[in-house]
Structure 1
Amino acid sequence: MKPAPTGRAAALAAALLLAACSPTLDWRQVRPEDSGIEALFPCKPLTHARTVPLAGTPTRMMLYACTTGGMTFALTYAELDDPARVTPALEALRAAASANLDGQETLLGPAEVPGMTPNPAALRLSVQGRRPDGGALAQQLVLFAHGTRVFQASVIGAQPEDEPVATFLAGLRRP
């Protein structure tokens, strides 16, 4: 039979137990305004909107993003109002993902988001790049569309962990 832990050992054991129970990733279902999609975020996202050139046309883009556990989780989307703009916009988002990190892209396969509109430019990608200070930066992302709305969901960090990336991307769906 083991002796009872001393006060110091018990305090250390309790501290380790509490640390194991405190979640870095506090998952919640989010329905971004006017997006027509649900996303599963591991922290409470902040929102930001701005007009940016997308495939040569000024476009209002919405961003929902939060940072936790050394990773930033983001969902960006825009309503294009013209079906002819969807594929060029997805291609522009793809090009920007690599350019923003000055990185190397790896195609992981087609996007698989329940309820998305099929499109040859709807893809799952990984980009390995660098921060401005030279530190490594990696991004996992999926580009997809629903009707005339385009989306980019991404997780970015020094080395995004597989499980949170998979959970975030698997949490995307049309309600």
Structure 2
Amino acid sequence: MRAHTFFRTGRLLAMAALVASCSPTYNWREYTSQDGAYTVLFPAKPSSFTRSIDLNGMRVDLTMTAAEVEGTTFAVGSGAAPDAAAAQAALPAMRQALLRNIGAADSGAAPDEKGRLAVDAGGTGNGQPVKLVGRFEARGTRFYQVIVLGKRSTVTPEQTEQFLTSFKPQ
């Protein structure tokens, strides 16, 4: 009788584990920005807001679209500059602002061959250690920041890579 109870309990635990593994924490879905400026895969249903910001003397409307999963935020910020040179100049300003927000030093990273800037930094948010990973790029007069920000333990390389590589500016 004990062996039967043991195997029955084992089967129930195995079924519970199987059901738990089927409930996705990350529910990836394709998102196209309202102005059609980009597409990206978000791990949950995103929400958007627009606000006016100052990027080193350039006043722009920046639209942030973000989704949060288990305390990790996946976000895309996009805006338009008066010309392509101003859009490119917005990239280091956005990068510096985000680094400043988490109290991380700016290493002054150089753009890659496509003119993109990257960030991979640790800092503090809400009194806890956080990790910021992302990239900043411009296409014509449009500029973008694509970032993942969360507790160091929840910013996984696989989910970060999924999000960053899915971003496609139009």
Q: TM-score scaled to structure 1, two decimals?
A: 0.85
1:69 match: 70
Q: For 1:99-118, what per-residue CA distance to the aligned partner results, in whole angstroms no more than 9, with x for missing partners?
A: 01111356888568xxxxx4
2:131 match: 138
Matched AA of 1:127: A
CA spacing shift, 1:59–1:45, aligned 2, 3 Å: same
Structure 1 Cα separation of the partners of residues 74 and 60 of structure 2: 22
Q: For 1:2-58, what per-residue CA distance to the aligned partner results, in whole angstroms no more than 9, with x for missing partners?
A: x77643322211111111111111111110111421111111100111111122122
2:122 match: 128
Residue 8 (str. 1) matches residue 2 (str. 2): no
Residue 41 (str. 1) matches residue 34 (str. 2): no
Q: For 1:58-84, what per-residue CA distance to the aligned partner results, in whole angstroms no more than 9, with x for missing partners?
A: 211101001003311000000113223
Equivalent pair of 1:128/1:139 in contact (CA under 8 Å): yes
5+ residue gaps, structure 1? 113-117
Equivalent pair of 2:83/2:140 in contact (CA under 8 Å): no
Equivalent pair of 2:121/2:132 in contact (CA under 8 Å): yes
Runs of 4+ in 1 over 3 A off after TM superposition: 3-7, 104-112
SS of corresponding position for 1:38: strand
The structure that is helix-richer by fraction is: 2
Matched AA of 2:157: D
Structure 1 Cα separation of the partners of residues 108 and 96 of structure 2: 12
Equivalent pair of 1:43/1:66 in contact (CA under 8 Å): yes
Identical columns (%)? 28
2:53 match: 52
5+ residue gaps, structure 2? none
